[in-house]
Amino acid sequence: MSSVIQSSIIKKFAMALSGLFLIVFLLQHFIINITSVFSEEIFNQFSHFMGTNFVVQFIAQPILIFGVIFHFVMGFVLDLKNRGSRNVKYVKYKGSSNASWMSRNMIISGLVVLSFLGLHFYDFWIPEMKYKYVEFLPDDPNRYYTELTHKFEDLTKVVIYVVSFGFLSLHLLHGFSSSFQSMGVNNKYSPIIKIVTTIYSIGIPFGFSFIAIFHYLNH
Amino acid sequence: MVTYDIDNISPDMSFLEMMDVLNEELASKGVDPVAFDHDCREGICGSCSMFINGEAHGPDRLVTTCQLHMRKFKDGDTIFIEPFRANTFPVIKDLVVDRSSFDRIQHAGGFISVNTSGNTQDANAIPIEKSNADKAFDAATCIGCGACVATCKNSSAMLFVSAKVSQFSLLPQGQVEANERVLNMVKQMDDEGFGNCTNTGACEVECPKGISLENIARMNRDYLKAKVSS
Amino acid sequence: MSKLNSKIPKGPISEKWTNHKNNIRLVSPANKRQIDVIVVGTGLAGGSASATLAELGYNVKSFCFQDSPRRAHSIAAQGGINAAKNYQGDGDSVHRLFYDTVKGGDYRSREANVYRLAEVSANIIDQCVAQGVPFARDYGGLLDNRSFGGVLVSRTFYAKGQTGQQLLLGAYSAMNRQIARGKIQMFNRHEMMDIVLVDGKARGIITRNLIDGKIERHSAHAVVIASGGYGNLFYLSTNAMGSNVSASWKIHKKGAYFANPCFTQIHPTCIPVSGDHQSKLTLMSESLRNDGRIWVPKSKSDAAAIRDGKLKPTDLSEEKRDYYLERRYPAFGNLVPRDVASRAAKERCDAGYGVNKTGEAVFLDFASAIIRYGKEKAHVKGLNENDENLVQELGKEIIKAKYGNLFQMYEKIVDQNPYETPMMIYPAVHYTMGGVWVDYNLMTTIPGCFAIGEANFSDHGANRLGASALMQGLADGYFVLPYTIGDYLADDIRTGPISTDSKEFDEAEKAVKDKIDSLINNKGSKTVDYFHKKLGKIIWNKCGMSRNEKGLKEAINEIKSLRKDFYKNVLVPGTANSFNESLAKATRVSDFLELGELFAKDALERSESCGGHFREESQSKEGEALRDDKNFTFVSAWEYNGEPSNALLHKEDLKYENIELKTRSYK
């Protein structure tokens, strides 16, 4: 088993899998959130379901949290190893001539997204956990929309969110299609994967930003 | 880092001929010349290994340093020349590095275990689909120069190793020990201390032979398959 | 004289090798484990020999001066490898390959060796395919062939323009397998400095570790020299910068005869010299002559205009061009053998028809091939064959698929697009047919010292045909030496390990150290390259594509005084105990300075013209080479005698029992 974890290719494979899992989660998160723009009622319904369903709460949620933690811990492990593979650095290194900024700086975009996650958890997840599992407050199926809009009244927060979504976009632009390469998929469909990556990586963070700005403007 | 001034360079000179001029000048003064690896000077032996102005084999594409010509530079330019750098390529002297880690990876499985007795079956006994034969050839054109490692921000050798693995895994002759080969070669690669591939694609761009990233994907695939079935 | 026993087995030529294999002595597997063999060089010959000997069970120590065995200069061979497979059904056979090679070599090679080479050629292809060498294939999945100079069949197997690379990687992979098993001990960046003889037998070598300058002793029961040719004698050649004669020359000085040193191949299609700074020449594969047509302008004024850049070659109409090979040799046209093509190019350029700035280049033109292929493709695709643009486009695609890497290489070096304008080419030194004299078992005149591949002399006579060098290297290494070496080693099964603590090793090591110290401490005023360039100029001008008595005599004297100058004035910077390329070069050039003299002496002695050796005194009225079979049907084997000029000539008479000696004609 230890040989499995030590293998560079397996590490990359695990990184790709957890990344793709998070991408799927992100899509689902987005679909629920975007309903808040159209209908308070639908948003509340979805949120209530997600917040109270046993499978979501006690099976999917721990997996998700594990996925997030695994992805960033492994990200750090790989990055440290990679940085340590060249102890004497080049005096002149022209990285931009042969690789995109995104692909070279996943650790930076990742760190921004990670800090954002901290803020995001502080904003939503921790209060939510407290509400349900610490203070055992009564179930209120209609509280979600108000809580959401309430958070986006502060301009600074909206700006932080939008900037973070920008970095998320950069992270995804490389990470999404790259995960297929790590899993061994590089064939005639790869151009399609690239297109899907671009659409997804720009579209989803843009959509999240839109939701934040929308609620800021409409509070 | 030392700076040398050098005159009388014609645009038709190759980069290494420029180095020759410099070294001839140094040698004639009794100074030890700048050491660098070179041999065939036609882009096939893979000896030359300079990191020029921040890029492996310099600014031109699909060439080795020996095929890089001075017409790619402007008169008066200051050119930065460094050795290929990676922990796995320790510097021997000046611009000369030790790439024996590549050899050790090959020892671990870069072969088909067939005796050289000549008592094999006829060469045409197994037809090979042309597209596979061509792909195997493309992978096999790797000259083992190490530009991929030198260029990669992670000093990863995945392009090199995957080219060597693919060359065999694409041919029916290489199938018999395909699983063992990929497992052993990747293990040796990891043991040597190369970094991980993060799919930046820099290696493919800087590779003087244009070895494709497809090989890395193929090796990932072969490796995962081998891991599952072994 | 008795030393020159070629040991050719008795019997009809087609059975000699089989009979010989059946009758030579063998070493049992248990005894092989007790026997060490040193192999110097890891090209096709050395690499394949190391792998096979190790596989048989011998303990092999392999040496190369490069940082990896895979970088030996065999890797640069482009065009292909011959084999009498007759896959094309065009009438090829072992006999025909044998005949073509002997004829191509201008009847100066040993029949029995060449026949054996042709015989095992087919095995090489089987072997390489089994090893995973990706030869070119057709759409049916079977192996493809192309045609090379001097033959009328398609028997050349190839892997685009990188056949040597693929074959060497094959041999290297076989070595890797044995290195992993511990049967080959690999010494990279080690240069052989001398051979050690104990009781007259080759028992080891002295090497210098090129990284730290350490002088090391290595012993073995036999020493195999596979260090390639000596083309770098000319300074400018298509050889790698490090290619050298030192291993061969050192064994020559210790008793191995050196055969036919003057037989050098000047390859007709190389990229012309662009200036004094030039460090090496780049070959454009002979395979290009399958499709390229060679020409110069018919009139001198057009040639002058092209030289001055006033006229573009593409502007010259067909009737103003002289396709001189097609004119002079209608049967073989552009595919005449290398020596003939080279001389014809020199003849035109000397007459004032050269087409580059220095007047030393001719055109190699693909325009008509592009049109021919384009039309064919258009026809196949059912498109308009008369649409010029379409035909050009389709034709270029095909040319690109066939020769893409060569065209790219040309463009990188010359900065001209060969798809649009004809290539400029000129002959350059490429291969040396001469080398260490060996008998049928590939053993030199030193017992226990073998020479294989380009380092020996045996198979190519006075001129090598295209795609035969790879064949010979692999044949020697995979299929010949592993058998014949057993015959010698059978006596050594009781010898036990050879000690390096002996007077002979002491003496050899001391001589090497003394020489190195004297070079380092000389502190003269001229660099090593100065001497090498000067030597190259003498050899190229006076012992190059055409030679005459006066020039050769001058060359001998000039080389002699250059050598004196070298030992007096050479400046080798750096120290002996470090990575020091100047020192490595100095030791190699000092050997070239001796070989050069023997080279000229041999050329002077052989007053006939044959193959690559063209004596101006011996030519026909049309300027073709004139052989003198009556007086020169022999191999010149030179015995070292203190000074290159004092070398003693031994003659191995060549007997042609299966092929009739004829004037070589490609008309």
- Domain chopping of chain A, boundaries: 2-83+104-217
Q: Does B218 touch chain C (CB under 8 A)?
A: no
d(CA B77, CA C432): 42
Strand C634-641 vs strand C258-259: parallel, antiparallel, or unpaired?
antiparallel
CA distance C322 to C320: 7
Q: Is the confidence at residue A144, as pLDDT, over 50?
A: yes
Which one-letter amino acid corresponds to residue C551?
Answer: G
DSSP-H helix ranges across chain A: 2-6, 8-38, 40-52, 54-55, 61-83, 101-104, 106-120, 126-129, 143-151, 155-182, 190-217
ipTM for this prediction? 0.98
Separation between Cα atoms, residue B105 and residue B37, nearest integer Å:
21
**Which chain A residues are Cβ-neighbours of B81 within 8 angstroms?**
none
Residue A9 at interface with chain B, using a CB cutoff of 8 Å: yes
| Extents of the domains making up chain B | 15-27+34-93, 100-229
Residue C30 · residue C213 · CB < 8 Å = no
The DSSP 8-state label assigned to residue C628 in this structure reads -
> CB of B115 within 8 Å of any CB in chain C?
yes
| B200–A4 CB contact, under 8 Å | no
Mutate to test the interface with C, among B12, B17, B45 (most CBs of C within 10 A): B45
Q: In this structure, which topology does domain B15-27+34-93 adopt according to CATH?
A: Ubiquitin-like (UB roll) (3.10.20)
**CATH number for the domain whose boundaries are C267-429:** 3.90.700.10
Q: Would you state the pLDDT for residue A1?
A: 43
Partners for C (CB, 8 Å, 3+ pairs)?
B
Nearest CB partner across the interface for B16, out of C68, C139, C279: C279
Q: What 8-state DSSP symbol labels residue C490?
A: G
Joined together, the tokens standing for residue B57 give: 């084999």
Residues of C in contact with B120 (CB under 8 A): 126-127, 129-130
Q: Does A184 touch chain B (CB under 8 A)?
A: yes
Token digits of residue C528: 């090593």
Contact C258, C458 (CB under 8 A): no
| pLDDT beyond 70 at A3 | no
Confidence of residue A4 (pLDDT cuts 50, 70, 90): low
Amino acid sitting at position C336: V
Q: Give the span between the Cα atoms of B217 and B182, in whole angstroms.
A: 13
Which whole number is the average pLDDT over C424-447? 97
| Nearest CB to A7 within list B59, B91, B190 | B190
Q: Could you tell me if C301 and C500 are in contact, meaning their C-beta atoms sit under 8 angstroms apart?
A: no
Check CB contact under 8 Å for A98 and B51.
no
Q: Is B103 on the interface with C (CB under 8 A)?
A: yes
Least CA distance to A9: which residue of chain B? B220
C66, C135, C142 ranked by CB distance to B39: nearest = C66
Does C touch A (3+ CB pairs < 8 Å)?
A: no
> Between helices C13-23 and C111-131, what is the axis angle to 10°?
70
Which residues face C418 on adjacent strands?
Answer: none
Interchain proximity A6–B190, CB inside 8 Å = yes
pLDDT at B158 over 50: yes
| Residue C132 to residue B27, Cβ atoms within 8 A | no
- Give the CATH architecture of domain B100-229: Orthogonal Bundle (1.10)
Mutate to test the interface with B, among A3, A8, A108 (most CBs of B within 10 A): A8
The answer to whether the Cβ–Cβ distance between C188 and B103 falls below 8 Å is yes
Q: What share of chain C in percent tops pLDDT 90?
A: 93
Q: C479 to chain B: which residues are within 8 Å by CB?
A: 118
Nearest to B24 among C71, C142, C529 (CB): C529
The set of catalytic residues of C is 338
In angstroms, the CA B222 to CA B182 distance is 7
Distance to chain C for B198, nearest Cα, Å: 28
Mutate to test the interface with B, among A10, A17, A98 (most CBs of B within 10 A): A98
Q: HEC profile for C366-406?
A: CHHHHHHHHHHHHHHHCCCCCCHHHHHHHHHHHHHHHHHHH
Contact call for residues C427 and C362 (beta carbons, < 8 A):
no
Q: What is the pLDDT of residues C94-141, one digit of tens each?
A: 999 999 999 999 999 999 999 999 999 999 999 999 999 999 999 999
Give the residue from chain B lying closest to A107, CA to CA.
Answer: B198
Q: Structure tokens of C504?
A: 């002979």
Q: Which of C142, C176, C274 sits opposite B107 (nearest CB)?
A: C176
Query: Nearest CA to CA, how far is A107 from chain B (Å)?
Result: 11
Q: What is the CATH number of domain C503-632?
A: 1.20.58.100
- How many whole angstroms separate alpha carbon C199 and alpha carbon C414? 55
pLDDT at position C189, please?
98
The average confidence (pLDDT) of chain C is 95
User: What is the residue whose two structure tokens read 């050719």?
Assistant: C8
What average pLDDT does range B157-165 have in this prediction? 98
Looking at chain A, which subunits does it touch, using at least 3 CB pairs closer than 8 Å as the criterion?
B
Q: Hey, are the CB atoms on B112 and C132 less than 8 Å from each other?
A: yes
To the nearest 10°, report the CA torsion of C610, C614, C618, C620: 80
The one-letter code for the residue type at C143 is L
Size of interface B-C (CB pairs under 8 A): 218
Collect all residues of chain C within an 8 Å Cβ-Cβ radius of residue B99.
67-68
- Does the reported pTM lie above 0.90? yes
Of B87, B205, B217, the CB nearest to A184: B217
Contact C132 B171 (CB under 8 A): yes
Average the pLDDT over B220-226 and give the result.
96
Q: Which CATH architecture fits C13-263+433-492?
A: 3-Layer(bba) Sandwich (3.50)
**What region, left, alpha or beta, does residue A29 occupy, with left being phi > 0 and alpha being psi -120 to 50 degrees?**
alpha
Which residues 60-89 in chain A show a CB within 8 A of chain B? Answer: 78, 81-89
Q: Which residue of B has its CA nearest to A93?
A: B54
- Is the pLDDT at C275 greater than 90, yes or no? no
pLDDT tens by residue, C484-506: 999 999 999 999 999 999 999 99
- pLDDT tens-place string over residues B56-91: 999 999 999 999 999 999 999 999 999 999 999 999
Over 60: is that where the pLDDT of C144 sits? yes
Q: Name, in order, each residue with C-beta under 8 angstroms of B179's C-beta and a sequence gap of 6 or more.
A: B222, B225, B226, B229, B230
What is residue A113's predicted lDDT score, i.e. its pLDDT? Answer: 97
* Chain-chain contact of A100 with B206 (C-beta, under 8 angstroms): no
How far is Cα C248 from Cα C259, in angstroms, rounded to an integer? 11
Interface test mutation site (partner A, options B196, B203, B215, max chain A beta carbons within 10 A): B196
| Interface residue B118 vs chain C (CB under 8 A) | yes
What's the length of chain C?
Answer: 667
DSSP assignment string, C541-605: HHSSSSB-HHHHHHHHHHHHHHHHHHHHHB---S-TTS--HHHHHHHHHHHHHHHHHHHHHHHHH
B114 to C138: CB separation less than 8 angstroms, yes or no: no
User: Would the CB atoms of A181 and B199 count as touching at under 8 Å?
Assistant: yes
User: Do A185 and A165 touch, CB atoms closer than 8 A?
Assistant: no
Residue C1 has pLDDT above 50, yes or no: no
- Whether residues C176 and B111 touch (CB distance < 8 A) is answered with yes
pLDDT digits over B200-214, tens only?
999 999 999 999 999
Count the Cβ atoms, other than its own, within 10 Å of residue C248.
31
Q: What is the pLDDT of residue A2?
A: 54
A4 touches chain B (CB under 8 A): yes
Q: Is the pLDDT of residue C284 over 60?
A: yes
Record: contact B87-A100, CB cut-off 8 A: no
Tokens of A53: 């369903």
Contact A97 B59 (CB under 8 A): yes
Whether chain C has a CB inside 8 Å of the CB on B128: the answer is yes
